[in-house]
Amino acid sequence: MKLTIIQKPLPQNGELVIIKIKKIMPHGAYVELVEYSKDAYLPISEIASGWIKNIHEFVKEGQRDVGKVIAVDADKGSVDVSIKKAKSKEKADKLTEFGLEKRYEKLFEQAAAAAGIKTKEELAGLKLTASATFNTYTEIINSVVQDSHAADAFKNKKFEESLLEIVQKNIKPKKYFVSYLADIRSNDPAIGIRLIRELLTDIEKNGVGVLYLGAPKYRLSAEGSNYLDAEEKIKKAKDILEKHQSKILISMKNEKHD
């Protein structure tokens, strides 16, 4: 289960969780589930592969890690976790997700305070409203970055305004970049060079960068708020060129980026 604005009392089996080692015992350790403010148990057999002679060589009190939930008893409210079952990439992704979510939660609370929402009860009510439309704080902030009207979901003008202001100050919109290698040749040398120059000028006016690589090759590049937006600009550039197919030959190939 992913992070959520209104967290459930218990995690789900198989869920990745942030843990903090609280107390080490001979055959395991008690850990805090940071996202749930609840304790869980980490059996010694789930700390690392192979035989563990001294548990203190593998975990330290106060240590933070990412674990995978391996057992949940809803009736008893107990949870068991495993460190060794959480893969390295899963851990890295979880820590990144958690860090970003906590940062965006702070921005959300700053916006609430700026809008005059000060009591715990008022803030809890606002978060409940948020959870009806959004799953996470990350989703809230990203939605507002892409479309300012996403804040309208809160039905609170002061909060909407403060959220937009804080997002604009703290979040730089992500840009997506695409580029194509274009081969543009003329069928009519008498007017070909002039026509190609005019077409490339029109393409630049439509937000597409043109880089001359040596006749007849060019690089056409565009950026947008998402890949579809960037690709649409390239498509328009291609349409401009293809209107003159009787006079020029065109071939375009997507340039891959790492």
Q: What is the CATH number of the domain that holds 32?
A: 2.40.50.140
- 198-243 confidence digits (pLDDT tens): 999 999 998 999 999 987 899 999 998 788 889 999 999 999 988 8
Q: How many CB atoms lie within 10 A of CB 192?
A: 18
Q: Give the residue numbers spanning the domain of 54.
A: 16-86
* Residue 1, in any domain of the structure: no
Name the CA dihedral angle for 180, 183, 188, 194, rounded to a multiple of 10 degrees: 50
Whether 198 and 159 map to the same domain: the answer is no
Residues 234 and 248 in one domain: yes
Between CA 232 and CA 197 the distance in angstroms is 22
- Report d(CA 97, CA 123) in Å as an integer: 23
Per-residue pLDDT reduced to its tens digit, 65-117:
999 999 999 999 999 999 999 999 999 999 999 999 999 999 999 999 999 99
Do the Cβ atoms of 196 and 184 come closer than 8 Å? yes
Same domain, 220 and 185: yes
Q: Are 86 and 68 in contact (CB under 8 A)?
A: yes
Q: Are residues 71 and 23 in the same domain?
A: yes
Question: Whole-angstrom Cα distance, residue 44 to residue 80?
Answer: 11
pTM, full prediction: 0.66
First to last CA, the chain: 30
